[in-house]
Amino acid sequence: MVCRVEKPHTWLGVAASFLICASAAAQEQVSPQQRFQVATLSRAASELSSDCSVKKAYGPRAPLYSVRRALREQRPVKVLAIGSSSTVGVGASSPAAAYPARLEVTLEGFLPGVDIRMMNRGVSGETGRGAVERLKLEVAETMPDLVVWQVGTNDALARIDEDDFAETLREAIDWLEANRIDIVLIDPQYVERLAGDGYYTRIVKTIAEVAGKERVLLVNRFEAMADLAKRKGNSAFLAQDRFHLNDVGYRCMAEYAARAIAAGILQAEAEAARQN
Residues of this chain that bind other proteins (CB under 8 A):
84-85, 88, 90-91, 120-122, 124-129, 133, 136-137, 139-141, 153-154, 157-161, 175, 179, 191, 193-194, 199, 239, 241-244
For the CB of residue 176, give the shortest distance to other proteins in the complex, in Å.
Answer: 10
For the CB of residue 84, give the shortest distance to other proteins in the complex, in Å.
Answer: 6
Q: Which is nearer to other proteins, 100 or 264 (CB)?
A: 100
For the CB of residue 185, give the shortest distance to other proteins in the complex, in Å.
Answer: 19
For the CB of residue 272, give the shortest distance to other proteins in the complex, in Å.
Answer: 24
Q: Which is nearer to other proteins, 214 or 243 (CB)?
A: 243
Closest by Cα among 73, 29, 79, 75 to 264: 79
For the CB of residue 216, give the shortest distance to other proteins in the complex, in Å.
Answer: 19
For the CB of residue 54, give the shortest distance to other proteins in the complex, in Å.
Answer: 22
Q: Which is nearer to other proteins, 56 or 159 (CB)?
A: 159
For the CB of residue 163, give the shortest distance to other proteins in the complex, in Å.
Answer: 12
- One-letter-per-residue 3-state SS of 120-166: EEECCCCCHHHHHHHHHHHHHHHCCCEEEEECCHHHHHCCCCHHHHH
Q: Which is nearer to other proteins, 87 or 220 (CB)?
A: 87
- One-letter-per-residue 3-state SS of the chain: CCCCCCCCCCHHHHHHHHHHHHHHHHCCCCCHHHHHHHHHHHHHHHCCCHHHCCCCCECCCCCCHHHHHHHHCCCCEEEEEEECHHHHCCCCCCHHHCHHHHHHHHHHHHCCCCCEEEEEEECCCCCHHHHHHHHHHHHHHHCCCEEEEECCHHHHHCCCCHHHHHHHHHHHHHHHHHCCCEEEEECCCCCHHHCCCHHHHHHHHHHHHHHHHHCCEEECHHHHHHHHHHHHCHHHCECCCCCCECHHHHHHHHHHHHHHHHHHHHHHHHHHHHHC
Q: Which is nearer to other proteins, 45 or 146 (CB)?
A: 146
Q: Which is nearer to other proteins, 60 or 128 (CB)?
A: 128
Q: Which is nearer to other proteins, 87 or 267 (CB)?
A: 87
Beta bridge partners of 222: none
